[in-house]
Amino acid sequence: MKILKTLLLTLVFAVNSAIAEEITILYAVGFGGGMDRTTEAIKEALTNAGHTVTRKNFKFYATALDSLKSSPKNTFLITFTGDLYLDGKTGTINCPPVDLNLNLVVYSSIIASPFYLTTIPGFSGTSVEKLREVSKTRKVILGTVVGGTASAALELFAKRNLEKYAVLNYASAPEMRAAIAASEVDLAFGSFFTKDLVAKGGTNIAVTSNYYVTPEIKYMGDPDLLSGYTFMHIKNSSTPAVDKAMLIAMGSPEVVKVANSVGGKIHGLVSGVSAKETENQLLMLGRAYGQ
């Protein structure tokens, strides 16, 4: 019996070794947020499947893209939909203007999740109407982690609804979390902080509508009917075996756990949304922002 078990284990190892390939994941956003955790979850799922996975971190999308262009097969850049497109046009602390005329392929979105505008516990502007009233007498401070889509949507909401306001863009989720703890902001925009703020007495007063089409934040509705942001891959090339491994990893328990933590759902190839559909959504987002 022991000999049979040994032979079976040897066979499994041999099969895994035969299909295992080297995969490189490129990352260029602040650490500690939902995308950072998603990247790690995908890496963990791929590693558990027997693949050798290297994660390379960059400060800017521009340098990540340079690395992607010169990388061998099985290299993926993980980013927010929209951030690469919008930041590449305008330039932010995350991404100086980059050459977007690259021979790259949108691979898949991964997680869809609403972004909520949530009050800090104790703040009196617990509805859009009350927020407007507060903004007549003093400056309302709204904060988000910087990004092409999130920053632009929050600025647009504030411009349309408030009289006195300031939008603060933080470089990473840990910096944003520290700002919330220090009461530097009155409201936070995102998904990563929402559950904790509400549990402590904060109020969700608005939520993103279809993020790809209208760059607006609507008043509260049923978030299950509303699309939010997604993560996506942009790849240079990959083998069929790695494509299959990526599909499994994107729907793995590790990634599902991250999606649940931000109120999101698995999206993209795993749920039947093609890469072409993801690319079309990205183009609609660009048109919505006048790009």
Q: Collapsing DSSP states into helix, strand and coil, what is residue 220?
A: coil
The confidence band for 179, taking pLDDT boundaries of 50, 70 and 90, is very high
Rounded CA separation 269/110 (Å): 8
Same domain, residue pair 212 and 235: no
The confidence band for 186, taking pLDDT boundaries of 50, 70 and 90, is very high
Rounded CA separation 69/102 (Å): 8
The confidence band for 69, taking pLDDT boundaries of 50, 70 and 90, is confident
pLDDT digit string, tens, across residues 203-241: 988 887 554 434 456 665 444 433 455 677 888 889 999
Examine the fold and report which residue of 225, 254, 273 is the final residue of a domain before the chain moves on. Answer: 225
Please report the DSSP string for 170-216 in residue order.
ESSHHHHHHHHHTT--SEEEESTTHHHHHHTT--EEEEE--TTT---
Check pLDDT > 80 for residue 259.
Answer: yes
Residue 10 lies in a domain: no
Examine the fold and report which residue of 225, 255, 279 is the final residue of a domain before the chain moves on. Answer: 225
CATH (domain of 40): 3.40.190.150
278, 233 contact by CB (below 8 A):
no
130, 208 contact by CB (below 8 A):
no
The residue that leads in pLDDT, 177 or 19, is 177
The domain containing residue 214 runs over which residues?
A: 116-225
pLDDT at 218: 63
pLDDT at 193: 80
Rounded CA separation 1/7 (Å): 10
Same domain, residue pair 267 and 168: no
| DSSP, res 120 | P
The tally of domains found in the chain comes to 2
Check pLDDT > 70 for residue 37.
Answer: yes
The residue that leads in pLDDT, 174 or 113, is 174
Instruction: Put residue 7 in one of left, alpha, beta given phi > 0 → left and psi -120 to 50 → alpha.
Output: alpha
Instruction: Among 96-105, 223-232, 233-242, 250-259, name the one with the lowest average pLDDT.
Output: 223-232
pLDDT at 91: 43
- Using alpha carbons, select from 237, 183, 231 the residue that is nearest to residue 211: 231
Query: Average pLDDT in the 93-97 region?
Result: 48
140-145 β-sheet, strand order:
165-170, 140-145, 187-190, 116-119, 204-208, 217-219
Examine the fold and report which residue of 208, 225, 242 is the final residue of a domain before the chain moves on. Answer: 225
- Using alpha carbons, select from 27, 83, 31, 41 the residue that is nearest to residue 261: 41
CATH (domain of 166): 3.40.190.10
Rounded CA separation 203/62 (Å): 37
